[in-house]
Amino acid sequence: HESMAHAAFHDALTQLPNRLLLQDRIGQALAAARREGCNIAVCYLDLDGFKAVNDQHGHAAGDQLLKVIAGRLVAAVRPTDTVSRLGGDEFVLVLTSVIDGDWMAILERLLKVAAEPVALASGAEVVVGLTVGVALASQADEASPAELIERADHVMLAGKRSGKGRVFV
């Protein structure tokens, strides 16, 4: 039973929470923000250069890269935050209890760790980057978890057109 429940709520490749669990975590974070009078940040992360790795090194290398990046993202955030994978090279991060600009330091750290070289099983070394779109939600925000993910995605896509490897709010 436990492994079936885990499979229902986690990405098979990275073992990160999937969209279903992510939406639940965003709901919990919003409820906590309303109780505590603080904000949350829903951040849509897209890997820059992932397609090239898949094309040049194959899908097994792409999968290996995704696992490495997933581990780095989890290690770079706070225990109260959630890193999830929606599929492909897209991740969503939920930053709980964000105060002023402290969330920006976390995102800067993510940009840095994502850009560190990854050694593939083949011996090749690849470098990718991150483009991040952020949707901030205050305790007064009535948006649903799905709407916040969509908002962050739109910000990321709009930002990507003006330059990759950055955080857009």
Q: Which residues are catalytic?
A: 89
DSSP letter for 10, please: B
- Nearest alpha carbon to residue 97 among 144, 33, 150: 33
Question: How many angstroms separate the CA atoms of 148 and 144, rounded?
Answer: 6
Q: How many CB atoms lie within 10 A of CB 168?
A: 19
Identify the CA nearest to 140 among candidates 37, 41, 27, 43: 37
